[in-house]
Amino acid sequence: MKKRVTLLTVVFLVIFLFTVTAQAAAPSITTSSLARTVTVQGATANDVLVPLTAEFTIKIMQDTKNVLDELGKILDFFQKTGLPVVEYFDYDANKDYSAGGVEDGPVKKQISLLLPAGFDLDTLELHEFVTAQPFFYEKGIGDVAATFEFATEYIKDQIIVAVIGVFDEWGNVEWIPLKAEVVEDPERDGVYLVQIYFTQESLVKIGDNPFALAILSEPVGK
């Protein structure tokens, strides 16, 4: 019974996000059952990809309670504020946002540094919110680039950014923006994947624990 209630909660969230205002910019969310890891490679300082000699990988996992709880909090965020989804990562449920004029928080500022100058962050849409987990990471591996396939159809040169949520033992979350880009699948013409650059710092913080992975992208065809 408990599993059924959780599933219904996620379904309700997805339906709700189809109906939120354009300002909220979150038409749908893909969860972990519709995503997979394609490759994991080493990344040099210049983002040159190199093969990994270690067994390290990052896998998409079944959604954890922490991640499902965050989905519920996203729903609550839209119901209470109607703010753009990028504001969620700095959102404080104890503050009153009804008057507007919200100052950019630290996570939003970090996101802006990963996107082209002048890009309107308030137009970003949330299409992926999944659970992922690293295995066999060691500091000597350094930065890595992981490529994922999601149900969302991305297009060439689409602007995207990743935000990961690292949970502590009490379920509190720290949001860390990471560079991401759309890349063409080398084996399938016209199919585009999402490549995320995980820094060594972020992987050390994650440890070997499941984490939330969100992809924010510019709207297309609007």
Task: Between 139 and 31, name the one with better pLDDT.
Answer: 139
CA distance 206 to 78: 27
Name the residue with tokens 């996203």: 74
Q: Coil, strand, or helix at residue 167?
A: strand
Q: For residue 26, which of 95, 177, 129, 139 has the smallest C-alpha distance?
A: 129
Q: For residue 104, which of 119, 122, 117 has the smallest C-alpha distance?
A: 122
What does the pLDDT read at residue 14?
A: 46
Q: Percent of the chain scored above 70 by pLDDT?
A: 81
The chain-wide mean pLDDT, for the chain, equals 83
Read off the amino acid at residue 137. Y
Q: Coil, strand, or helix at residue 108?
A: helix
Q: How far is CA 95 from the centre of its chain?
A: 24
Task: Between 190 and 58, name the one with better pLDDT.
Answer: 58
Task: Between 26 and 35, name the one with better pLDDT.
Answer: 35
What does the pLDDT read at residue 29?
A: 65
What does the pLDDT read at residue 41?
A: 87
What does the pLDDT read at residue 89?
A: 95
CA distance 172 to 165: 9
CA distance 212 to 214: 7
pLDDT in tens, 150-177: 988 999 999 999 999 999 999 999 999 9
What does the pLDDT read at residue 147?
A: 94
Q: Strand pairing partners for 149?
A: 36
Three-state SS string over 37-93 comes to: EEEEEEECCCCCEECCCCCCEEEEECCCHHHHHHHHHHHHHHHHHCCCHHHHHHCCC
What does the pLDDT read at residue 202?
A: 97
* Overall size of the chain counted in residues: 222
Q: Coil, strand, or helix at residue 129?
A: strand
Q: For residue 212, which of 8, 38, 29, 45 has the smallest C-alpha distance?
A: 29
pLDDT in tens, 109-152: 999 999 999 999 999 999 899 999 999 999 889 999 999 999 88
What does the pLDDT read at residue 32?
A: 66
**Cα distance between the two ends of the chain:** 40
pTM over 0.75: yes
**pLDDT above 80: residue 62:** yes
Q: Which pLDDT band, with edges at 50, 70 and 90, does 101 fall under?
A: low
**pLDDT above 80: residue 216:** yes
> Which sign does the torsion angle of CA 149, 154, 157, 163 carry?
negative
